[in-house]
Amino acid sequence: MTFTLGMLLARLVLGAFSSLGAGLVVALITNRNGLAIKSLVGVLLILFIPVHYSLWERFPTWYHVVFLVSLVVVTLLGAALYPGRASRKDGGVGNAA
């Protein structure tokens, strides 16, 4: 498991896109339900903290910190990208006004 800086950055970008998409999808499915979004963040942390703990010595510390912080920040950002039904000006899909 020897990675170059470029490979580490690519892994972080891929993880960020995945977290962004996960946050957006949960917001879409739940109409931006705050509890569901926070639950997703919690589940992601619960799943990834043990993995990163077991790999701590194989990757630089900055990589673990950036990845774990991005799980929270980027997932919440992805959820914030979905406007929710309340703020739509067209009244939602299927409105024949």
Per-residue model confidence (pLDDT) at position 1: 77
Average pLDDT estimate for 63-87:
91
Task: Give per-residue pLDDT as tens, 38-72.
Answer: 999 999 999 999 999 999 999 999 999 999 999 99
What is the rounded end-to-end Cα distance, in angstroms, of the chain? Answer: 58
Per-residue model confidence (pLDDT) at position 93: 53
Give the separation between CA 56 and CA 24, rounded to whole angstroms.
29
Q: Does residue 94 surpass a pLDDT of 60? A: no
Q: Does residue 35 surpass a pLDDT of 80? A: yes
Report DSSP letters for 44-74, one per residue. HHHHHHHHHHHTGGGS-HHHHHHHHHHHHHH
Q: Does residue 97 surpass a pLDDT of 50? A: no
Give the separation between CA 19 and CA 46, rounded to whole angstroms.
14
